[in-house]
Amino acid sequence: MGHTSSTQRTTPAVLGQPGGGLGEPGPSGSPMSEQSPEGATLLRAEEVAKVLRIGRTRTFELLGSGELPVIRIGRVVRVPKADLDRWIAEHRTVREPPQ
């Protein structure tokens, strides 16, 4: 009767972080932002929706139409935080006070 070792990893590692695989929540159950090799934060669709204070469906519409800047890795879609901040600044409107 031989002894077999079962040392399989059950949680995927993404960019050096445990858990939070492709679209999966991290160990705490909440989504984890990812860092690109250059240090840029890459946001998931749910995180973009929170930042913009819009619904998830509308966020996916903006991502799918190309209106929001995205990075695609296969079926995975991420939004660089710096690009989202720039997009927000470009789409900000200033109301003129009534005269």
Helix count (H) and strand count (E) of the chain? 3, 6
DSSP E strands, the chain = 13-14, 17-18, 34-35, 41-43, 71-73, 76-80
1 pLDDT higher than 80: no
Tens-digit pLDDT profile for residues 57-85 = 999 999 999 999 999 999 999 999 999 99
Instruction: Report the predicted TM-score, pTM, of the whole model to 2 decimal places.
Output: 0.58
In the block, tokens 């929170």 appear at 50
Tens-digit pLDDT profile for residues 4-36 = 444 443 333 333 333 333 343 444 444 455 665
